[in-house]
Amino acid sequence: MIKDRMAGAPISWGVCEVPGWGHQLAPGRVLAEMRDLGLAATEFGPDGFLPRHAAGRAAVLDEYGLRPVGGFAPLVLHDPGCDPLPEARRVLSGFAMERGNSPLTLVLAAVHGRDGYDGRPPLDAGGWTALLTNLDRIAALAAESGVRAVLHPHVGTMVETSAEVERVLDGSAIPLCLDTGHLLIGGVDPVELAVRASARIAHVHLKDVDAALADDVHTGRTTYTDAVRTGVYRPLGAGDIDIPGIIGSLEDAGYDGWYVLEQDTVIDHEPAPGAGPLTDVRSCVDYLAGIAS
């Protein structure tokens, strides 16, 4: 059932690896609110949000009754002079916990090495060769630990646009994280991709999106950070993405992975109890429960 495969992500509570992103809520509050919403699991969040050692992470998640999904890993993959495997090994060391029947997922983003997602350098042929090669190298490394690596096309990274997603599909074997919001902002139709490339989709970040704000980011009229602050991500069912269509296509194709509720947000202060990002995530949970019934 989809209800048993709904997971949370700390970024939905404004917890982000980007310096200066906004007020950062404490892990205890975020995890307690996930639990109280009935979410089954969570991604790990940025480096340092949970203990770095696997046993410590497992203990914290057990305290809140949450299963581990895996986590986001922003790595520089396109620099021929920089080997990303040592950092990938360090990240994977925090994944070595009891996994049951569900493998953990290493969600890779091909970052440029600067802070934030409001711009990126061009990528030349040598950079593409390094990136595609490193994707397959890290996927193989993760598999040795029983972890599944996926690539997350992401605004402000080296894989953002439709042409770049196609280049990854054609030039590597790594599965994708279908992030409905980042794909739309990058000019990719997530509904079409969910149908056409269902065999390559191994992880899902569900976002709904204000399409007009998404176009402002795509065309450079506003930055990604400003769009997030303005509300480019909407609670599921309140934006312009066909969420039921995407889920229906994936389920028909046999997708059995997680649906991570991940609406990037920025908060400026500590919300009152029962308020803040919790309200939007609750709307997402209720929406998914409604379309799954």
User: What are 202's two structure tokens?
Assistant: 């191994």
Distances from the Cα of 194 to the Cα of 51, 56, 263, angstroms: 34, 36, 19
Q: Model confidence over 125-153: pLDDT tens digits? A: 999 999 999 999 999 999 999 999 999 99
Residue 187 burial (10 A CB sphere; 0-12, 13-18, 19+) = middle
Q: What is the pLDDT of residues 2-11, one digit of tens each?
A: 889 999 999 9
Calculate the dihedral angle through the C-alpha atoms of 55, 139, 69, 167, rounding to the nearest 10 degrees: 150
Angle (nearest 5°) at CA 121 between 158 and 107: 25
Whether the CB-CB separation of 226 and 244 falls below 8 Å is answered with: no
Between CA 103 and CA 144 the distance in angstroms is 12
Cβ-in-10-Å burial (0-12, 13-18, 19+) of 197 comes to: middle
For 236, other C-beta atoms within 10 Å of its C-beta total 27
- How much is the pLDDT for 97? 64
Under DSSP, the state recorded for 117 is S
Q: Which residues contact 91 (CB under 8 A, 6 or more apart)?
A: 71, 73, 75, 106
- Coil vs helix vs strand at 72: strand
Q: Are 78 and 110 in contact (CB under 8 A)?
A: yes
Length, in residues, of the chain = 293
27-36 and 277-292 helices, crossing angle to 10°: 30
Segments in the chain below pLDDT 50: none
CB-count burial class (<10 Å; 0-12, 13-18, 19+) for 100: exposed
Token duo for residue 234: 């909407």
- Cα distance between residue 108 and residue 132, in whole Å: 12
* Separation in Å, CA 84 to CA 81, 137, 166, 224, 260: 10, 9, 22, 26, 26
Which residues, at least 6 apart from 26, have a Cβ–Cβ distance to it below 8 Å?
none
> What would you measure as the largest C-alpha separation in the chain, in angstroms?
51
